[in-house]
Amino acid sequence: MADLARPAHFQSETAPGESRATSASIKLDIRGVTKRYGAVTAIDDVSLSVGDGEFLTLLGPSGSGKTTLLTAVVGLTAPDRGEVWIDGALATYAPPYKRDIGMVFQNYALFPHLSVFENIAFPLRMRHRDAATIRRQVSRVLDIVELGHTADRLPRQLSGGQQQRIALARCMVYQPSIIVMDEPLGALDKRLRDSMQVEIKRLHSQFGITILYVTHDQEEALALSDRICLMRDGAIEQLGTPHELYFRPRTIFAANFIGDSNIFEGIVRSSSGDVVAIETEGGLTLHARPGTQRVNAGDHIQLTIRPEHMQIVPAGDLAANQISCHVESVLFAGSLMKVFCRTDRGLAIQANLIASRQELRSGTPVQLGWSAEDVVLLQGERR
Ligand X SMILES: Nc1ncnc2c1ncn2[C@@H]1O[C@H](COP(=O)(O)OP(=O)(O)O)[C@@H](O)[C@H]1O
- The verdict on 356 binding ligand X (CB under 6 A) reads no
State the DSSP string of 228-292: EEEEETTEEEEEE-HHHHHHS--SHHHHHHSS--EEEEEEEEEEETTEEEEEEGGG-EEEE--TT
| Segment holding 165, helix H or strand E | helix 160-172
Q: Given the complex with ligand X, which of 166 and 222 has the nearer CB atom?
A: 222
Q: Which residues of this protein are in contact with Mg ion, per CB under 5 A?
A: 67
Q: How far is the CB of 137 from Mg ion (least distance, A)?
A: 31
Binding mask 232-251 for ligand X (x = CB under 6 A): --------------------
Residues between 64 and 103 with contacts to ligand X, criterion CB under 6 A: 64-68
Q: Given the complex with ligand X, which of 214 and 277 has the nearer CB atom?
A: 214
Number of residues that bind ligand X (CB under 6 A): 11
Q: Given the complex with ligand X, which of 42 and 138 has the nearer CB atom?
A: 42
Choose the stretch contacting ligand X; rule: CB under 6 A; options: 61-69, 112-120, 145-153, 372-380.
61-69
Choose the stretch contacting ligand X; rule: CB under 6 A; options: 23-31, 62-70, 201-209, 238-246.
62-70
Q: How far is the CB of 27 from ligand X (least distance, A)?
A: 22
Binding mask 14-53 for ligand X (x = CB under 6 A): -----------------------x--x-x-----------
Q: Please say whether the dihedral angle defined by the alpha carbons of residues 70, 74, 76 and 77, taken in this order, is positive or negative.
A: positive
Q: What is the CA radius of gyration of the chain?
A: 24
- The verdict on 349 binding ligand X (CB under 6 A) reads no
Q: How far is the CB of 73 from ligand X (least distance, A)?
A: 12
Dihedral through CA 253, CA 259, CA 262, CA 268, nearest 10? -60
Select from ligand X, Mg ion, none the partner in contact with residue 218, using the beta carbon and a kind-dependent cut-off of 5 to 8 Å: none
Longest dimension (CA), the chain: 77
DSSP 348: E
| Segment holding 117, helix H or strand E | helix 116-126
Cα angle 372, 373, 379 (rounded to 5 degrees) comes to: 95
Q: How far is the CB of 41 from ligand X (least distance, A)?
A: 8
SS3 (DSSP) at 159: coil
One-letter amino acid identity for 61? P
Footprint of ligand X on this chain (CB under 6 A)? 37, 40, 42, 60, 62-68
